[in-house]
Amino acid sequence: MSHGTGGAERTREETAEDEQRRTTAEPKYRRSPVASLRRLTTAIFEKQLVLLRRYWVNTAAMLVTTYFFFAMIFYGGQAVAGPAIEDSLDGIVVGFFLFTATLSAFFGTAANIQSEAQWGTLEQLFMSPHGIGRVMAVKSVWNVALSVAIALILLVVMLVTTGRTLTVDVLTISVVTVLAVCSVLGVGFVFAGLSLLYKRIENVQQLMQFAFIGLIVAPVTNAHWAVGLLPLSMGSAMLQTSMSDGQVLWTFPLADLGLLLFTAVAYPLVGYLVFRLCVRRARRLGVMGHY
C-alpha cells in the first residue's frame, strides 16, 4: 500500500517537473521572435541558394534566355528602324531592366506555392510554428533580392552590348527598383492565393507580362498623376530620370517619393490580405493538399 502511494507521489512529482520544464521553455521561445525570424530567414535563403546551385543549368538558362530576348529586341530594332532606334535606346535598356526584375519577383512568389504543392511539402508550411504567411513573406524578400540582383547583372551586360553610357547610381537604382518591384509582390500574392484554389494558372500568369509592359511604359506626368498609383509606373519614370539625367534619390520631389513608397506598401498589404482569404477558402473546401 505504501509502495503504491510512493509510486503515485513520484508520478505526481515527475508530472510537476515536466509541467515546470514546459512552462519555462515555452516563454523562452516566445520571448525571442527576432531570433526565430532570423533562423527562418537563414533557412529559407540557404535553401534557395542550394536550389540555384544544384540546378545551375536552369539558372544559367534563365539568364541566357533573358539576355537573348533583349538582344533580339536590340539587334532586330536596329535592322528594322536603323539609326532611329538610338533615340529610344536608353528607354529600352531601362525598361527592360525593370521588366526583368518585375518578372523574377512576380513569378517567384506564385511559383513558391506551386512548387511546394508539387513537392508535397505545402502542408508542412501550414504546420510550422511560423505559419504560411510569415514563410511566404520571407520568401518574397528573397524573390525581391534575387530579382534585383539578376536585373543589375543583366543591366551591365545590356550596357556593354549597346555601348550606351547611363548614370548608374547604385543607391538610387537599388532603392527605386526595390520599391517598384514591391508593388508587384501584391499581384504575386494574389496569384499565389489563386494557385491554392485553382492549382494550374500558369497561362493566366503569362498574360500578366503584357500588363507589366504597359505599366512600365505608362507616362507619369502632372496631368496623369493617377497613373503613378498603378504598380511599376512611378518607379519606371523615376528610373528613366535617374539613369538618363543623372538625378539621385534625394533630389526627387517628395510627392513622387511618397507615391512610390505608398504603392510599395499598399499593394503587398492588399495582396497579402487576398492571399489569406484564398488560404481560408482553400481550407474550407479541403483542396489545400490536392494538386
Task: Give pLDDT tens digits for 219-248.
Answer: 665 545 667 688 888 888 888 888 878 788
Q: Given a cut of 60, is residue 42 above it in pLDDT?
A: yes
Higher-confidence residue: 57 or 120? 57
The model's pLDDT over 249-285, given as tens digits with 9 standing for 90+, comes to 888 888 888 888 999 999 989 988 998 898 888 888 7
Residue 81: is its pLDDT beyond 60? no
Which of 29-33, 112-116, 249-253 comes out lowest in average pLDDT?
29-33
Long-range CB contact pairs, 35-44, < 8 A, 24+: 36/129, 36/130, 37/130, 37/134, 37/138, 40/130, 40/134, 40/135, 40/138, 41/138, 41/141, 44/135, 44/138, 44/139, 44/142
For residues 25 and 163, give the distance between their C-alpha atoms in angstroms, rounded to a whole number: 61
Q: pLDDT-derived band of residue 26, with 50, 70 and 90 as boundaries?
A: very low
Q: Of the ranges 66-75, 196-205, 251-260, which is most confident?
A: 251-260
Query: Per-residue pLDDT tens for 178-191?
Result: 888 888 888 888 88
Q: What is the pLDDT of residue 262?
A: 92
Q: How far is the C-alpha of 70 from the C-alpha of 61, rounded, in Å?
A: 14
pLDDT tens-digit profile of 44-59? 888 888 888 888 888 7
Q: Residue 11: what pLDDT?
A: 53
Lowest mean pLDDT across 96-105, 110-119, 154-163: 110-119
Q: Give CB contacts under 8 A, 24+ apart, made by 146-150.
A: 146/48, 146/104, 146/108, 147/100, 147/101, 147/102, 147/103, 147/104, 147/105, 147/108, 147/181, 148/101, 148/174, 148/177, 148/178, 148/181, 150/62, 150/63, 150/66, 150/100, 150/101, 150/104
Average pLDDT over residues 27-56: 76
Inform me whether the pLDDT recorded for 175 exceeds 80: yes
pTM comes to 0.75
- How many C-beta atoms surround the C-beta of residue 206 within 10 A? 10
What's residue 266's pLDDT? 92
pLDDT of residue 171: 86
The chain-wide mean pLDDT, for the chain, equals 76
Q: Are 196 and 98 in contact (CB under 8 A)?
A: no
Mean of pLDDT values over 19-40:
60
- Supply the pLDDT for residue 267: 92
Domain residue spans of the chain: 1-31, 40-285
